[in-house]
Amino acid sequence: MGDSSFPIVSLVVFLPLVGALVLLALRDVEAVRWTALGATVAALLASLPLWSDFDRGSHAFQFVERYDWIPTFNIEYAVGLDGISLLLVLLTTFLSPIVILCSWRSIEKRVKEFMASVLLMETAMLGVFVALDFVLFYVFWEAMLIPMYLIIGVWGGPNRIYAAIKFFLYTLAGSLLLLVAMIALYFAGGHTFSIPALMGQPYSPQFQFWVFLAFFLAFAVKVPMFPFHTWLPDAHVEAPTAGSVILASVLLKMGGYGFIRFCLPMLPQASALFTPLILVLSVVAIIYGAYMALAQSDLKKLIAYSSVSHMGFVMLGLFVFTVQGIEGAMLQMVNHGITTGALFLCVGLVYDRTHSRLIADYGGLAKTMPIYAAMLVIFSLSSLGLPGTNSFVGEFLVLLGAFITYPVFAVAASLGIILAAVYMLWMVQRVAFGEVNPKIARHPDLNLRELATVAPLAVAVFWIGVYPAPLLDVLHVSVDHLLEQTRLTSGDVAGLGWSDLWGMVRAAFAS
């Protein structure tokens, strides 16, 4: 366990914010770029000790820092990590320098504001994953909206304003309900906002039902689950490359993280009650997303819909209540971050050159840009879950876990993998192989900076694909503990069944 006297978690979280403040004082555009890169690299380096000093044998939150924040209401500034948070924190710090690098040349107007927004995003996202106080969590959760709104709305494509507002309002409406549910937990859980303390409390089944409903809306919009996903393709298509990468790689994980951190351990009975619904929606998302991806002629839309499909696997894994399922879901969140983020980078790389995202405008890139094509093939194979790549391990674990408790859903979900192979290979075939499209024949291959953005991700793809044990080691004890918390009561769902629901709704309106 790390030396708790040194506030290393806060350091990681706030380094990007400090970077953003420094940026505001700078005038030179190059200096702005290097400072932004420096801040993200610093956060990455600072997060490494978290990985090396993490005690993999303990499920407790580690590197905990606590200070009074608003003592009147027992609100604390409390941060700390367990295995689940740790992976997502590392994912965020790992991807942030890449996000800065990928917008090095593609963002040319208002560079300072852009870089500052990205850094603010990083702080907000890291804060979400390490917050141990619900109010703190909520502040980070919501604060993220402001820079993301600007990133999409200022630096996005032609229809950016519509997409930005849709993104903002969808997420806000969901998360405001989270706010009310959080306050309700405060009163029901003994006047505390401390997440570990709230986890250890039994709540009445009826109470769990309402709180779960509010949580569900907030997190389902973020994931996004079918049918709350409609903001996602719009946001992805309009966002600049960096925005898409942040959105796909980290932002969507906040939804899954919410389900793991709050729904399962705090509301086990309601989680059990909602399981069938969530499983059905997940499988629908997997197949629907894949079908939609199949039909797209726009590269970004294709990957956006594949995201919907992949996040369906994550939700499926979470709600099958087995170790394999949850570990697979967690791993899949990391994998999706790496692979889908990389695919969006790939789209951005060619878009910078050709200013087209239409598949029909490409063809034969393997001949003109061989390094690029190799990268595209790697990430596409990873996305469709080829053995040896990261997604295979994740999807395999999810399906394995699902097969133990819900074999029907596992079988239905595997359809999604087949479809993924179809749309991904077809896309690669049309973009990278075949006749060279004369329109794009003269563009240069990746330069060193561009290679530096995608190469680390390619390494990660194979590393996790071949040797996922280090990641799973980190997760194992935390996931075991999580399942213990859900099993405590999920055996007796008798207190809460769908048949009681009507009575509860009536009672709520009668009171």
Partner 1 sequence: MEFSWMQLMAIAPEMVLTAGACALLLFDLVIPKEQKDKLGYFAIGVLLIACYGSWKLADVETDVFSGMFVLDPYSAYFKVLVYLAGALTILLSMTYLEVERIHLGEYHAFVLLATAGMMVMVSAGDLIMIYLGLELLSISLYTLAGFKRHESRSVEASAKYLILGSFSSAILLYGISLLYGIAGTTNLKALGAFFAQGSLDNPGLFMSMGFLVVGFGFKVAAVPFHMWTPDVYEGSPTPVTAYMSVAPKAASFAVFLRVFAESLGALKAHWQPILITLAIATMIIGNVVAIVQDNIKRMLAYSSIAHAGYALIGIIVGGSLGTMSLMLYLMIYAVMNLGAFGVVILLRKGTLRGEEIADFTGLAKTNPIAALIMLIFMFSLAGIPPTAGFVAKFYVFMGAVEAGMAWLAVIGVLLSAVSAYYYLRVVMVMYMREPEGRFDLATSPATQFALVVTTVAILFFGIYPTPLIDYTKAAILQAP
Interacting residues with partner 1 (CB under 8 A): 68-73, 110, 113, 135, 138-139, 142-143, 145-146, 149-150, 153-154, 160-161, 164-165, 168-169, 172-173, 176-177, 179-180, 183-184, 186-187, 210, 508
Distances (CA, A) of 60 to 296, 317, 413, 478: 45, 23, 33, 8
Residue 27 to residue 430: CA distance in whole angstroms: 44
- CB 463 to partner 1: min, Å: 37
- CB 473 to partner 1: min, Å: 35
- CB 135 to partner 1: min, Å: 8
Nearer to partner 1, 68 or 492 (CB): 68
Nearer to partner 1, 166 or 357 (CB): 166
Distances (CA, A) of 244 to 89, 148, 151, 409: 18, 10, 10, 30
The Cβ-side half-sphere exposure at 385, using a 13 Å CA radius, reads 25
Nearer to partner 1, 210 or 433 (CB): 210
- CB 346 to partner 1: min, Å: 27
Residue 460 to residue 154: CA distance in whole angstroms: 32
- CB 185 to partner 1: min, Å: 10
Q: Give the rounded distance of the alpha carbon of 396 from its chain centre.
A: 19
Query: 311, 277, 295: which is closest to 413 by C-alpha?
Result: 311
Q: Give the rounded distance of the alpha carbon of 8 from its chain centre.
A: 23
Cα dihedral: 9, 390, 485, 188 (round 10)? 60
Cβ–Cβ < 8 Å for 214, 181: yes
Cβ–Cβ < 8 Å for 293, 421: no
Nearer to partner 1, 238 or 327 (CB): 238
Residue 407's Cβ-count burial label (10 Å; 0-12, 13-18, 19+) is exposed
Residue 405: partners with Cβ closer than 8 Å, 6 or more residues away: 320, 321, 322, 325
Quick one: DSSP state of residue 231?
H
- CB 75 to partner 1: min, Å: 9
β-pairing, 75-81 vs 62-70, is antiparallel
Neighbours of 340 (CB within 10 A): 27
Q: Which amino acid is at 487?
A: R
Nearer to partner 1, 277 or 508 (CB): 508
Residue 473 to residue 102: CA distance in whole angstroms: 31
- CB 214 to partner 1: min, Å: 8
Nearer to partner 1, 86 or 211 (CB): 211
Residues in the chain, overall count: 511
Cα dihedral: 217, 222, 227, 229 (round 10)? 150
Residue 37 to residue 45: CA distance in whole angstroms: 12
Nearer to partner 1, 54 or 149 (CB): 149
- CB 44 to partner 1: min, Å: 24
- CB 269 to partner 1: min, Å: 19
- CB 13 to partner 1: min, Å: 13
- CB 193 to partner 1: min, Å: 11
Nearer to partner 1, 64 or 184 (CB): 184
